[in-house]
Amino acid sequence: MALNNSSVARSYTGNMESNLETPTEIIVASPNDHDIIDACSEPNESSKQALAPIGIFDSGYGGMTVAREIIKALPHEDIIYVGDTNRCPYGPRPLEEVDSFVQQICSWLIERNVKMIVIACNTATAAGLKHAQQVFDVPIIGVVEPGSRAAAYATRNRKVGVIATQATVESGAYSKTIRNLDAGITVFSTATPRFVEIAEQGIRMAEGPIEDYTSLASKVYIRPAFREIAKEYLEPLRRVGIDTLVLGCTHFPLLKALIGGLIGREVTLIDSAKETARDVCDILERREQLAPDDREPHYSFYSSGDNLEEFKKFGSRVLRMPFDTVHHVSFD
């Protein structure tokens, strides 16, 4: 509902008759000791892949909230992060166009031998995840399913709100995924496009000593005008009585304090970034591709935009850790 302003297992059972004679002697050929040593010393494919990086991409900065959670959960993994800032934002673009961006960036990451890809953008997930999974061999996950699953499990009154970009809301990705998990849940979705602008403006250092201090302390400075915009977005969701709210854009965890204060403490906020990091851990563990605990991680950052210094400054604040170099990449 939009708001305005098992797999199948098969078995076979049969009778088999055999006229084979029972052998009087079975001889098993064994490799010599030298062959055994050579075989054991060869690293298997899983151990090779364990040393490969995780690829993460977004239309810009927001996906760094996902990268931050993955780094916290898996501190020994190498990360390649791509911010497609030259074509940001994805939200207002047609889904077919965004899908082409997804395939292009996934292909670029595959060339860098990543062991899995995280599409850290809700619009890109809605537009191109299924297509990418069909094209590429490595595991590829998005942020919609982890957030939807957490929301379906968390709600008590079966009223779930979703705030996201216009494209994500129009795709119906969250509504479909949540209702596939529990058809009895009513999903109330509303587009909140200015939240991206608020998050990006708020996280930059504001001028003046008082705002400087506030920004450093809270990570995102919230101007009074921002609060009024947020109140207008969230009031319809509060009135319908949701008890769970999905932050359906990777920028939105930066606004948790603002959103939580306006929607009410009784509403559970679902952070797709944290849920996605849990899925990354689970997939790599099941595939036996986790990096060794004694490994020093390496992080590489790429931007398709021209202002690499701005990308570095903004990214350092979102990640809450400094990084020295941002590389330019062109997808034209």
- Please give the C-alpha separations between residue 22 and each of 15, 29, 236, in angstroms, as whole numbers: 19, 19, 78
The pLDDT of residue 323 is above 70: yes
Q: Which of 40, 88, 106, 249 is catalytic?
A: 249
Q: What is the pLDDT of residue 8?
A: 33
Q: What is the pLDDT of residue 215?
A: 43
**Can you read off the two tokens belonging to residue 282?**
């689970």
106 is catalytic: no
Q: How many CB atoms lie within 10 A of CB 276?
A: 30
The pLDDT of residue 167 is above 90: no
Mean pLDDT score across all residues of the chain = 84
Q: Which of 40, 88, 106, 121 is catalytic?
A: 121
Q: What is the pLDDT of residue 9?
A: 35
Lowest mean pLDDT of 42-46, 97-101, 259-263, name the range. 42-46
Lowest mean pLDDT of 25-34, 167-176, 187-196, name the range. 25-34
249 is catalytic: yes
Q: How many CB atoms lie within 10 A of CB 3?
A: 17
- DSSP class of residue 9 equals -
Across 192-234, the runs of DSSP E, i.e. the strands, are: none
Please give the residue that has the higher pLDDT: either 246 or 206.
Answer: 246
DSSP secondary structure string, 88-144? ---TTS-HHHHHHHHHHHHHHHHTTT-SEEEE--HHHHHHHHHHHHHH-SS-EE-SH
**What pTM was computed for the model?**
0.80
**Cβ atoms 302, 188 nearer than 8 A:** no
**Can you read off the two tokens belonging to residue 86?**
């030259």
The pLDDT of residue 21 is above 80: no
Q: What is the pLDDT of residue 46?
A: 65
Q: What is the pLDDT of residue 221?
A: 60
Q: What is the pLDDT of residue 220?
A: 61
The pLDDT of residue 48 is above 80: no
φ, ψ for residue 163, nearest 5 deg: -115, 135
The domains located in the chain, with CATH, are: 45-142+276-328 (3.40.50.1860), 145-272 (3.40.50.1860)
The pLDDT of residue 4 is above 60: no
Note the pLDDT tens digit of each residue in 179-223: 999 999 999 999 998 988 888 777 664 444 434 433 433 456 667
